[in-house]
Structure 1
């Protein structure tokens, strides 16, 4: 499949390019990536180059994973990345530290979910994050995902071991309202407790 862009009210989602490599390398070297992501660690420029030059184009060409750079309309600067694995509808996303807390990821995630439901036969989009990643949880919650529990994740850790994950899903038939049942992490609660 050829990569296709997506537009939101204020964002453009398009394929990452060589011009994004330095920003990806810088953002993915932030300590939060070591704790909550399964990206290589320590993250180096060569990892970003391989991601942009090989991983992303291969996913599009084989129609196995769609990956977009997140940008503001009319701007070249990379804000973050969002993707979906088509073998089960698993989404993944991140933003550089400067861009967090501005409602960017819920807007991007809603648009990606819409694209999945419009362009595939998948009946759900899945989400998971390392338990404790409250920022990722909030994005899924705001986008209308239903919390499905604290359990071993589908995506393994760097060493192949299972990750203790928070999980959720958005069904094709779901509205985008916030669903009940999410853990009260703001008050110190944890999922599954």
Structure 2
């Protein structure tokens, strides 16, 4: 599948660019990532380059994950990243620390969920986060997801082991 752009709520979701690597590396070095994310730790510029130049393009080509840079305009600086794995419909996202608390991610979740329902036949968009990631939970709740409880997460931890997670889901709108 070819990458496509999404726009709405004053935001543009588009392809990650090699020039985004320093921002990805800087944002992903936030200690919050060590606690709540399964990204490599410590996160390096090489990790960011690999994600941008190898992982994301390959996932788009295979149709296994749609991954976008979050920007305030198409050529603006990177604010964060959002993606959805297919066919599972599992959503993942993060924002750089300076951009949190502005409800940017809620708007992005809405855009990606709508695109997933329009372009695929998935019955729902799923979400999980390590227990304690309150900011991520609030984002999902604002986007109309239904909290479904605690469970062993589908996405393994940094060490490959299971993570106790909060889970939620947004069902396909009835037509």
TM-score normalised by L of structure 2: 0.97
Equivalent in the alignment of 1:149: 149
- Superposition deviation, residue 76 in structure 1: 1.7
Equivalent in the alignment of 2:41: 41
Q: Distance in 2 between matches of 1:75 and 1:4?
A: 15
Equivalent in the alignment of 2:124: 124
- Superposition deviation, residue 87 in structure 1: 2.3
Q: Distance in 1 between matches of 2:60 and 2:161?
A: 27
How many pairs were matched up?
A: 174
- Superposition deviation, residue 74 in structure 1: 5.0
Structure 1 runs of 4+ off > 6 angstroms?
none
Q: Distance in 2 between matches of 1:130 and 1:74?
A: 31
Deviations 1:85-112 (A, max 9, x none): 0121000000000000001000000000
Query: Is the counterpart of residue 140 in structure 1 residue 135 in structure 2?
Result: no
- Superposition deviation, residue 151 in structure 1: 1.2
Q: Distance in 2 between matches of 1:65 and 1:74?
A: 21
* Uncovered stretches (5+) of structure 1, i.e. residues with no partner: 175-193
Structure of higher CA gyration radius:
1
Equivalent in the alignment of 2:113: 113
Map 1:59-138 → 2, pairs under 5 A = 59-138=59-138
TM-score normalised by L of structure 1: 0.88
* Uncovered stretches (5+) of structure 2, i.e. residues with no partner: none
Equivalent in the alignment of 1:21: 21
Alpha carbons 2:87, 2:122 under 8 Å: kept: no
Structure number with the bigger relative contact order (C-alpha 8 A, sep ≥ 6) is 2
